[in-house]
Structure formats: structure tokens, C-alpha cells
Structure 1
């Protein structure tokens, strides 16, 4: 009986430590499971689960050391060493926030003093006329940057395995919340709030486990484009500068912008509609649609509609910066094609527009198109979190 208790207790302890991390990190097979509820249960009850395991093995160990046989004692010592190793690895090395740390020294520079390569991709945010840019190479490692623009707190997030950039208000139930990176679900980063310990999905801003399950963070508008394109529109923008402590980690993402990074989880599939091929995703009235990046690169302008609302997706000459706009304008539905020097021409009214959606030539000069929030991400991510998505062919 004591041997059975000992074996069960040992397996229980090893399973508790390993599975707590296995389900929420990219181990083989872990991210294909719908195991988030089980993962959350193990994580929130880990102390109790350990105590149960310790209780199961305490009596057998005591009996082994009372006996004269040396072999059971040796087994206890070896398994004890193995458990300590597993405990250390899965609590201090393999957890997400022990692999990806928050930036400790956060500072910004203007365009004159900025050190960022101008073709680098950034997430740009404008609030009340104040603009800031956050390079993917920086937020891609940290996964989140807690900041404020003016008096408005924001949470800039990025998941390199999904290629998803999102900006949220960090206020939860009227309180400014702080978050830590806790792991991932279906390859998408998850954050845990410090108050309720709920888990929040990065790609959607939804709480998927914990007391606040089902609640949604408020999303804030943002753009993904090159820093050069961003500064053309917002020359007074501030740009997040690298934290010198993490130079090595940033260097590992040097080629991430172009999709040629070495990591298999983050490297782009160049063919269309493969798991890690790039798409542009748009949601209108809860209806999602995906546009192949290769098609956008070839055509440069895609005129389409979602839920009977006409839109256009346009690609700048740098083949990296993109925008989307509502194209119902006055009594017309505008249809665009590329003109010259990063300009668009509407084939209906023959007016000229720039990449900011502003009319620069024609009767409507000075008018602006309403922007549409759009995202560039991996196809596997978009279809996972928008299973009913339409596809532009």
C-alpha cells in the first residue's frame, strides 16, 4: 500500500508542476488543446495540489527511512532531486514572465534624436492629437508596454507568434490595472491582471479565464506601418527607445519585421493561406474578413465591402505600410487605384487622395476618409480567433 501511495504522490507532484506550465506555453501539442480552464484550475490551486502530493508521499517516505533496506531510500533521494529540478525549471525558467521581462527604463525620443531604423515597423497611436510610435522589435520581446498619452493610460501589446498588435485601455471596472505575461493560448499571448488574476487574450482583449471571464478590454485605434511612413503623417511623434538592458533580446528579433527571423514559430510562410502566411484582417459589425498579403502586394489597392459597407485597403510604396478606409463619401462610393508618389485616385470623381485618407486635389480637397481598424497577422491566428471569417479571393 505504501508503495502505491508513494508512486501516486510522486506522479501527482510531477504532473502538477509540469502541466501548470505545459498547457500555457508552446510545448509540443499544448497549443492545439482547448485546455485553458484546466490550466487555470491548476494554476490557481497549485499550492493545494502540492500539499495533496506531499501528504501522499509523507507516510511512505517515513516508513522507508524506518526500514533497513537502502534501495527505497536511494529512490526517494533520486526522485527528490528530480522533483527539485522540475520545480525549479517550471517555476523559474519556463514561465512566460521569467523568459520575457517588462521594460525597466522606458523613454522616448523625437524624430531628430531617435535611433530607430526608419524602415522599422511600429505600432502608432494618436490620442487627442499626441502621437507615439512603438517599434515591433521592442514590444515584440516585452509583449506589452504600459504607457500613457497625455493623461490617457494605454496598454500597447504584441504577440510575435501570432503577429498581432493591439492597443487597449488598461482600465478594468473603472480601475487602472496592471498586467503580467502569464503564457499563451492557441499560440496567442495571455496576460493576468494583478487584482482578480483573470487571464486576458492579447488578440481579442477578452478575459478567457478567471472571475472576469467574458469581459472585454476597450480597444484603442492604432496603425502598423514603417516609422518613416508614420513620421510623414506625424512628424512630431515621440518614438519608444530600446532599453539597453535587453539589447541581446531585441537583436534576436532583428529580421522579424520582414518575416525572415530564424524562429519557426515566428517566421513567415511566403505562400498564401498557409498557417504563418500574412493576412490583413478587418472586423465590421462583428463580421470578420481576411485579405491575403500577397494579393495586396500585387494589386496595392483592394476595393471591397463588408456587410454592405464599401472599404478600400491600400499599400504604401514601401510595401510594408497599409491602411483601410470607408469609401462611402457623400453621395458616392469611391473606388481607388494607385496613382503616383503614394497617392490614390478615385476613378469615380477623379479626385486625388494621400495615404492618410486626405483629399489633396479636387473639389473635396481637405476632406478625410474615415479610417477602418485593420491588422496584419498570421493566418492561423486570424482564423482561430475569428472562426467564421470571410476570405477575400
Structure 2
């Protein structure tokens, strides 16, 4: 009997260790996310060995048989809900010049420029259903990331020193996706680009100005832009991109994961544009921007000019004195507030 109990405990632990850590908000539980595939194989192997010993010793014991069946179900669950197959990352991108594409101008994209190169990645068709694109632009490693739980599409320089990093989806932590780098198996928070567990803990990826807009607007600004026309997955996903997009659109508005921040101030799923500048974090709610197009705001004595394009649902910001373009992030309120607990909320008074 003892062997069947140990087998069940091992199966339950590897199947639900990550989920228990998330809902109980246990930092030490991040251990389960790191190199999960290897841990799953080890736990599964020992679980099956103990189950086999239990069945061999007590062939006619119904309780042993029942525990063994439940263990097999748990182990199957662990393999079925595998993030690497639910969200297979993009590992190769074929790019086409803007003038050579027939992409619909209303296609939503995240665009960025590196050096003299501008490139746009399609959101609905690729970024959202697969969550991660690993790319390289002008010898710079790039990470395009998306978190469905907080509706944030962000771009980072995927480098630490001279080390180029390759990312995969690891799971969820603090209402936000966490990613794992293939090189060190370190865990990274998508909302901040910070390494939260592993070799690079405390290291910050450089956030890039990924503009969430449409292909028509982006191409108008960057006529020589490239478009990520073909994106190739590292492995076959359990669901196609189209089915995954539908599933995410259905599920994510109904799910709120545990976090550490109080979400008062705005509705949890209010779309906000977030800016962190000169020691101040501010959220600009979409509901407050609908009646204004251009205005000035103050960040600890520095004036910032902001322009909101209602048609494209895009906010641009520049520091007035030096004409410095500021990075504007787009999130649901629950995602922005979780990592900017002291954020101010801009009101159109």
C-alpha cells in the first residue's frame, strides 16, 4: 500500500506543483517551472516504478488498483497540458519588404526598429496564439512576447552581455506569463523582462519600443519596413494558431489569476497605456482618452507631450525638452497594476 501512496503523491506533485504554487503564491514553487520537462520525466519514472511494485505486491487489492489508475490519469494530465506544445515558440522568421506584400492594412501588428531596420510582426495571426517569437535583427537577438492574461505585447532585446538568449513559454506567475531561456533554464517575467529565478536572477532585459498599431499606420511611418510574413514554429502545437486564438479570446476574459497587488482604481480589464519615466509610473485609461487627442503631462518636473490616435487606438509620448520618444506599454489594468503598484492614474479633468 505504501508504494501506491508514494506513487500517487509523486504523480500529483508533478501534475499540480506549478498550479498550487501559482494559486498559493509560493515563490519557492517556481522550482517546478524551471526545466519542467526533465523534472516531469524523473517524477513520472519513479511514480510508475512505485505503482508497478504496489500492483505486483497486492495484485488483488482494489484500493491499490484504484490509486494506480488515478496516478496514471494524473501523469497523463501532466503531459497533456504541456506549455511547450500548447504554445510552441516561433524560432524562424521570413521577412518581406512592405512594397512586396499584400497584407491588409487593418492587420494588427507590433512593430519595432533596430538601427536602420523596421519590422512588423502580425499579432492575431502569430504573436497572440504562439506568445513568443525569437528573432534576430542587425545581429541583435530580439524577443517578441505576448501575455494573454494581461493583453500585453512587448518587445525586448534578448541578450545578457554577449549571450543571445532563446525563449519558450514556461507558465503563469503573478497574473502574467513567465518565460524560460533555453541556455540557462532561468525564468523571466514577461511584463518586466526581469529574471525571477535561476542563473540570471535579478537581470533585466532591455525593453524595446514595440508599437502596437496596424500595418497600414506602421507602413506609412516606415515605407521600407519589413513584414514577418512567414513564421515557423519550433514544434507542432496541440492547437492550430486559429483555434488557439479563439480559445484565448474565449477564456482569458473570464480568468483572473492570483497576484500580489491590489487592483482597485480601475476595472481589472480596462485597457491602459502605461509609461514609466523619471521615477514615475502612470496609467492612461482608454476610457479617459476617448475624448482627447493631444495633451501634456508632467513626470516629476519633466513635461511629456502625448498624442492619442483614436482610430488606431495608439498612444505616443515624447519628453518635451529633449524630444525623447518614450516607451508606451499597452496592458489590461490588472497586468499594469501588478508590476507598478504605485502607479498614478491619469484623469481627463
CA radius of gyration, larger in: 1
Give the aligned partner of residue 127 of structure 1. 114
The total of aligned residue pairs comes to 330
Displacement of 1:383 in angstroms is 0.4
How far, CA to CA, are the matches of 2:68 and 2:129 in structure 1? 35
User: TM-score, with normalisation over the residues of structure 1?
Assistant: 0.74
- Say if 2:227 is the partner of 1:234: no
Query: 1:381 matched to which residue of 2?
Result: 335
Checking the alignment, whether the CA contact within 8 Å between 2:7 and 2:51 is kept in structure 1 is: yes
Partner SS, residue 112 of structure 1: helix
Q: Deviations over 1:155-214 (max 9, x none)?
A: 111212212122212222421121211111123111111222110011101111123221
Answering whether residue 170 of structure 2 is matched by residue 176 of structure 1, we say no
Alpha-carbon distance in structure 2 between the residues aligned to 1:22 and 1:143: 20
Moved more, 170-179 or 200-209: 170-179
Q: 1:40 aligns with which of 22, 31, 34?
A: 31
1:284 positional shift:
1.0
Deviation at 1:53, TM superposition (A): 5.4
Check 1:323–1:42 CA distance in 2 against 1; reply closer, same or farther (3 A cut): closer
Alignment equivalent of 1:17, drawn from 14, 18, 21: 14
The alpha-carbon deviation at position 386 of structure 1 amounts to: 0.9
- CA deviations over 1:200-235 (Å, ceiling 9, x no partner): 011101111123221111222322222111111101
Match for residue 258 of structure 2?
none
Counterpart of 1:280?
273
Assess if the C-alpha contact under 8 Å between 2:107 and 2:122 holds in 1: yes
1:136-215 alignment runs, 5 A limit:
136-137=123-124, 138-215=126-203
Partners of 2:13 and 2:247 in 1: how far apart? 37
**C-alpha separation between the residues in 1 aligned to 2:240 and 2:138?**
31
Q: Secondary structure at the match of 1:228?
A: helix
Cα root mean square deviation, aligned: 3.0
- Once the two structures are superposed, the pairs formed by residues 339-354 of structure 1 within 5 Å of their partners are none
**Residue aligning to 2:58:** 64
Taking structure 2 as the reference length, the TM-score comes to 0.83
1-structure distance, mates of 2:297, 2:97: 37
Aligned counterpart for 1:249 among listed residues 228, 241, 244: 241
Q: CA deviation at 1:116?
A: 3.0
Cα offset, 1:6, TM superposition: 4.2
Tell me the distance in 2 between the aligned counterparts of 1:221 and 1:105: 21
Structure 1 runs not aligned, ≥5 long: 25-29, 330-368
Residue 312 of structure 1: how far off its partner (Å): 2.3
Per-residue deviation, 1:286:
3.8
Deviation at 1:115, TM superposition (A): 4.0
Q: Which one of 252, 266, 283 corresponds to residue 290 of structure 1?
A: 283
Equivalence for 1:357: none
Q: Using a 3 Å threshold, how does the CA distance of structure 1 residues 233 and 211 change in structure 2: closer, same or farther?
A: same
d(CA) in 2 for partners of 1:78, 1:316: 61
Which of 315, 318, 334 is the equivalent residue of 1:325?
Answer: 318
For the residues of structure 1 that align with 2:54 and 2:251, how far apart are their CA atoms?
Answer: 46
Measure, in 1, the Cα distance between the counterparts of 2:50 and 2:215. Answer: 59
- Report the CA distance between 1:236 and its aligned residue: 0.8
State the Cα distance separating 1:372 from its structure 2 match. 0.8
Give me the whole-angstrom Cα distance separating, in 2, the residues matched to 1:51 and 1:111. 51
Instruction: Give a deviation string over 1:92-140, Cα, whole Å, max 9, x none.
Output: x212111011236622222233243212221111111210011211111
Q: Which runs of 5+ in 2 are unaligned?
A: 256-264
How far apart are the structure 2 equivalents of 1:322 and 1:113? Answer: 28
Q: 2 CA distance for matches of 1:248 and 1:60?
A: 40
Q: Does 1:225 align with 2:213?
A: yes
Q: Where does 1:263-278 land on structure 2 (aligned, <5 Å)?
A: 263-265=251-253, 273-278=266-271
**Whole-angstrom distance in 1 between the partners of 2:136 and 2:190:** 19
Structure 2 residue matching 1:328: 3-state secondary structure? coil
